[in-house]
Amino acid sequence: MLNQQYLLNLTTISLLLLPITPVIAQPASNPSGTESEGLSTGVLFKPPPEEKKPEHTRGAGSRNQGQCSQELFSANESNAPLTQTSLIPLVPSSNWGLTTAQRPTFWINLPETSAQQIVLSVREEGRIFHSQTFISITGKSGLISVQPSQDSPPLELDKSYQWAVVLICGDQPTPNDPAIASWIKRVTITEPNDLGTPLQQVAWYGEKGIWYDAVTTLIEVRQSQPNNQNIRDIWTKFLKSGEINSGLERY
Tell me yes or no: is domain 2-25+53-199 CATH 3.40.1390.30. no
Domain parsing of the chain, residue ranges: 2-25+53-199
pLDDT at 49: 79
Share of the chain above pLDDT 90, in %: 53
Residues 189-198, mean pLDDT to the nearest whole number = 86
pLDDT at 17: 43
The residue among 208, 203, 210 whose CA lies nearest residue 184 is 210
3-state secondary structure of 70: helix
Q: Name residue 248's amino acid.
A: L
pLDDT at 30: 42
d(CA 212, CA 205): 9
SS3 content of the chain, % helix, strand, coil (to 5): 30, 20, 50
Q: What is the pTM of this model?
A: 0.78
Q: Which residue has the higher pLDDT, 212 or 85?
A: 212
d(CA 207, CA 240): 14
Rounded to the nearest 10°, the torsion over CA 130, 54, 207, 92 is: -80
**Gyration radius from the chain CA atoms:** 18
Q: Is the pLDDT of residue 9 over 70?
A: no
d(CA 26, CA 234): 10
